[in-house]
Structure 1
C-alpha cells in the first residue's frame, strides 16, 4: 500500500508531462498577430485582449482567456462565437482546440450557406445529416491539439467543397485572446473523447424538415454553387461567420 501513492503520483506526473508535450512552442510574434488585426480578422488588442506567447512551450491561460490559432481566424473564426458553434462543441463534447483548421472552414461555410443562400439560421439537424466527426490520428488515441475533424457523409448532397490547408505548422501558431461572455468553456488540456454522437444522424422525424432543405441545396448545386464559392463569399466581405 505504501508504494501505491508514489506510483500514482508518478503516473499523474507522466500524464501531465505528456499533455504539455502535446503542444508545440508558439511561433507567433506580436507582429504576426498584428497582421490579423490589419486584415480585419481580429479586433485590436484593447478589445480582443490578444497576447503573444512566442517561444512558450504550452498555453497557461486562466478562465478569462482562451487559446486560438492564426489559421482559425483566417478561416472564419471569431469571438464571442455564435450559438451554433458553441452548440456544436457542446453536442460533440469538444473544445475549440480539438478541431483542425479545415473544420473551422467547414463550420464557417455552413453558417454562411444557411444565412446567405438558404435564408435561415444555421440548422443543426441539417449539419448532422451532412457531417460526421472523425478522430485523428486514430480513434483510440486522438491528439490533444487537432484531434477531431468533420467529414462529409458519403453520398451527401452538399455543394462540392475541397478545402486544402497548405499550412502544415498551424498548431505552432497559437496565441491567447480574451474569452468574452458567452465564452467558450475553459480548456481541459485533455484530448477529445470519441462518443456515439460523432457518427449520429438525425432521426426519421427530424429528417422530414432536413429533406426540404436538402432539396433546396440541390437547386443551388445545380446552379453551380460550390462550398468554395460560399467560402469565398464570406471571405470577400471579411465576415467571420463563427
Structure 2
C-alpha cells in the first residue's frame, strides 16, 4: 500500500480521521471486512482476455498482484478492477469518465462495480438516444453521490467510509432518468484489482494518479438545478421521448451490449455515429444472438428482459441519425460530429461471447448463473445495509416477502474462445482445471425496474441452453438497422417533432464548484 507521504493531504486527512474515530471508540477497524481490501485473484488468462477483447490496448502493460492484500503499485502504475471492465469500463478511459473522477475527486477503487454499470447506462442514453456527449451537469441532475460507511453499533458517528466502494451512485428524488438495478451479489469486486501502466510516453490509460484512502467528497453536493439550459432541454426531451415512444430501461442496457461497445472507453465517435460491424469503436463486429444479449445483461444487472425481446425504441446510428428537430434543439450534436473513421476488419472468432455458467468469467461478481440466485447463512447485516442504502428499506421488505430460489439449469458447453473459466473444477479440452467459487448471500429480485417489461415465461426461457454466437458479420440476414452490430427488430420510428440523440459535453464551461461535503442519498430532495 502507498505510504502516507505519497498520498494527497486531503486523502491522508480523511484516513487519519477515520482511524482516530475507530481508535477513540476502542473499535479495531482492521477487523471490518465489508468493503475492505482482501487481496486479488485475477489470473493471467483473464488479462489475456482483456487484450483479446480490446478492453486493454497493446500500448498498456498489465501486472498481476503478488499476493498483497492491499494494492502495492510500482512507480507509473495505476490500480484497476476486472469487475469494472465487465461493466463498460475500458482503457483508455473516456474523457467523460476522467472528467467525472476529477470533478468529484474520486479514484476507481471508490466506485463499486454497480456504479460503473450506472455510469455506462447514463452514457448510453446520452449518446445513443439523445445524440450528445455526456456532461457532468446532466449527470448531477439525474444522480447524486453518497458515502458508504462502515456499519456497526459500536462504531460512533460519523462512521468512517469503507476502504473500497466508498462512493455510492444513487438516483435523485424525482429524477426522470430510467431506473436500473445492479447486482446485489456484486460484493467481491475489489478482489479483482491489478496494475496497468503505459509502455511509452503516450497516455493510453487516462486515469488520475493512484492515491489510497477515502474520497474527500469534493463537489458531492453539486446540483445544477434548473439553471443549466441544456440540461433543462435534455430533461424535457427525455420526458417527451418516454411519452411518445415505447423506450424502456431494457433498451438502454441492450443497446451497448448488442452493439459490442464499452460506454466508458475513449472512442473515435459517439454511439449515434456508429456505422456497422466494421465500426472501430466496437470490441468486435460479430453479432450476439438475442438470447446472448439477455444472458450478458443478467451477468451485470437485474432485468426481466425476455429472451425473444424486441426494441421498444431503436438507438441512433449513422443510418438512423438525429432528426432535424433534435439538431435544432441541441446545437452540440452537429459540433461533436466527427469525420469518417478507418474501419476495422471483422474478427473470425468472437473474442467476447456469452459464457455458460460452467465457464464463468465473472464468477465473483454475479450469481451462479445470471438470474438464478442461491442463499446461505454467510451473509451479514452489513451486506444488507449496502443494498438498503441503494434501493431503500421499503423495496427490500417487498423483496423479502417475494423472494425464492430458482433451480440452476444443467451445465452447458462453451466455446473454446470464451473468456477463461475459473472458480470451478471441470475438464476442458482434456485438461482438469481447478478454480475457486465465491458464494455469497443473495436475493432473487422479482420486481422490475421502471420501464422494464415483465417476462411471461422466464423459467422456461432460462431452462433452454443459450445458442452460441456464430462468427458471422453483424447485419447478415437482418433488417436495415443491423449496422448497430447486434440483433435488431423493427422498433418504433422517431417522432417527427423532436429528436432523441445526445452525448457528452466535455467542452461546456463548468459550473461554480460546490465543495460542500453534504451526504446526498438516493432519496434526498433537491
Superposition TM-score, scaled by structure 1 size? 0.81
Distance (whole Å) between structure 1 residues aligned to residue 121 and residue 263 of structure 2: 8
Tell me the equivalent position of 2:261: 239
- Whether the aligned pair in 2 keeps the contact of 1:25 and 1:54 (CA below 8 Å) is no
Matches within 5 A, 1:111-126: 111-126=123-138
What is the Cα-based RMSD across aligned positions, in Å?
2.4
- Alpha carbons 2:146, 2:167 under 8 Å: kept: yes
CA distance in 1, matches of 2:208, 2:75: 8
Q: Which residue of 1 aligns with 2:288?
A: none
Following superposition, the deviation at residue 228 of structure 1 comes to 3.8
Whether 1:227 and 2:240 are equivalent positions in the alignment is no
Cα distance in 1 for residues equivalent to 2:77 and 2:247: 38
Aligned residue among 56, 81, 102 for 1:43: 56
Deviations 1:181-230 (A, max 9, x none): 563121111111234x2132104421x32121111112333323233421
1:103 is displaced (CA, Å) by 1.1
SS of residue matched to 2:169:
strand
Question: Partner of 2:59: helix, strand, or coil?
Answer: helix
- Tell me, yes or no, if structure 1 residue 216 matches structure 2 residue 233: no
1:194 corresponds to which residue?
A: 217
Give the match's secondary structure for 1:68: strand
Say which of 142, 152, 157 aligns to 2:161: 142
| Count of aligned residue pairs for this structure pair | 222
Q: Is the contact made by 2:125 and 2:252 (CA closer than 8 Å) also made in structure 1? A: yes
Q: Map Cα deviations across residues 29-73 of structure 1 (whole Å, 9 max, x no partner).
A: 1123333444x25236x4331222153322222342211111100
Summarize the Cα distance change of 1:54–1:170 in structure 2 as closer, same or farther, 3 Å threshold. farther
| Counterpart contact for 1:134–1:149, Cα < 8 Å | yes
Alpha carbons 1:159, 1:225 under 8 Å: kept? no
Q: Please give the alpha-carbon distance, in whole angstroms, between the structure 2 residues aligned to 1:41 and 1:167.
A: 24
In structure 1, C-alpha distance between the alignment counterparts of 2:54 and 2:85, rounded to whole Å: 6
1:124 deviates by 2.1
TM-superposed deviation, 1:178: 2.2
- For the residue of structure 2 that corresponds to 1:205, the secondary structure is coil
Decide which moves more: 116-125 or 47-56: 47-56
Larger RCO (alpha carbons 8 Å, 6+ apart): 1
1:234 Cα deviation from its structure 2 partner = 0.8
Counterpart of 1:76?
88
Question: 2:351 is matched with which residue?
Answer: none
Gap change, CA 1:153 and 1:67, over 3 Å in 2:
same
In 2, the alpha carbon distance for the partners of 1:226 and 1:191 equals 36
Distance in 2 between residues matched to 1:72 and 1:50, nearest whole Å = 15
CA contact (8 A) 1:159 1:217 kept: no
CA separation of 1:92 and 1:24: change in aligned 2, threshold 3 A: same
- Confirm or deny that 1:171 pairs with 2:190: yes
Which runs of structure 1 show a deviation greater than 4 angstroms over 4 or more consecutive aligned residues? none
Matched, 1:184 2:198: no
> 2:78 maps to which residue?
66
Answer yes or no: is 1:86 the counterpart of 2:107.
no
Q: Structure 1 residue 151 and structure 2 residue 170: aligned? A: yes
The CA distance in 1 between the partners of 2:66 and 2:238, in whole Å, is: 44
In the alignment, structure 2 segments of 5+ residues that lack a partner are: 1-15, 20-28, 151-157, 265-526
Tell me if 1:24 matches 2:35. no
Distance 2:129 2:197 in 1: 32
